Structures are given as C-alpha cells and as structure tokens.
Amino acid sequence: MTTKMKARGGRPSISLNPEQVKELASRGLSYEQIALSLGINFKTLLSHRRNREEIQEAIDHGRAKGLKEVSNALYQAATNGNITAQIFYLKNRDPENWKDRFGQRVNVQTDIALLHLEAMKALSAVPIEGEVIEGDHNSALRYTADDES
C-alpha cells in the first residue's frame, strides 16, 4: 500500500512499496492500471520509476515473474494433453510451421491513369437522362430511363 505523509508546505509525499508494485506488475497490469490500483496518479508512478531504481526493478521483475508463471502453466497444460494449449503454444512458438492461413502475395502493377481514361471512355458512351441524342435543342430526341425498356 502507498503511504502518504504530509510534506512540509506542499503536497503529501508518497512512499511506494516495491513488493506491492512487483505483485501488481506480475498480474500483467499496465503502468496506468498499477497507478490506479495504488491510488496514485499515473505521472506520480512515472516519477517514482525515474527517481527510485527499486520501483522500476520491481515492475520489471514483476512482469518477468507473471510471464514465467503463465508460460509455465501453458506449457504444463500443453504437455498434459490440453489440445487448445498445444495449438496455442505451437502457433506462437513456431508460427512458420503452425499457422492456419497460408496467404499468397500477388503483385499487380498497372497504370492508374490508363484505367481512369478507359473508365471515362466507357462512361461517355452511356447517355445521360435528358441529354440531347439527335437534332437541335428545339426539335431534339431526349434520352430517358424509360427508353431502355
């Protein structure tokens, strides 16, 4: 637990317990979550990390401890016949040989301007509703959507 002692003429000083910080870090908590659990501001935790080597060491050792415990539990589950654990372990430890999807890369290079020009030509062949098809504006045939039926 953190202890807050009133500093002379300022904010209360905060003393962090490295063992408590280590335990929280071992559970996989982020810096923000550790600070929240300790009841302190995130910036306060960052300051303690920079100024007190034992706090950063507690975080590093805690994270390593948590990773070790979970890795060992996963390994034990996999070697004791848990199929899901075996699949997870193999996919993460040897992804080149144990992956679900085999993608193929296709490299297509084209001239976008040429595609755009071809699309514009195709569109210009389609009459627009109300467009003059023949004659002048006074005696013209006009295209309507009904002309297609």
The closest alpha carbon to 24, from 40, 12, 9, belongs to 40
pLDDT of residue 122: 78
Cα–Cα distance for residue pair 38/53, rounded to 1 Å:
18
Model's pTM, two decimal places? 0.59
pLDDT at 38 over 80: yes
Residue 112: exposure state from Cβ atoms within 10 A (0-12, 13-18, ≥19): exposed
Given a contact cutoff of 8 angstroms between Cβ atoms, the answer to whether 128 and 143 are in contact is: yes
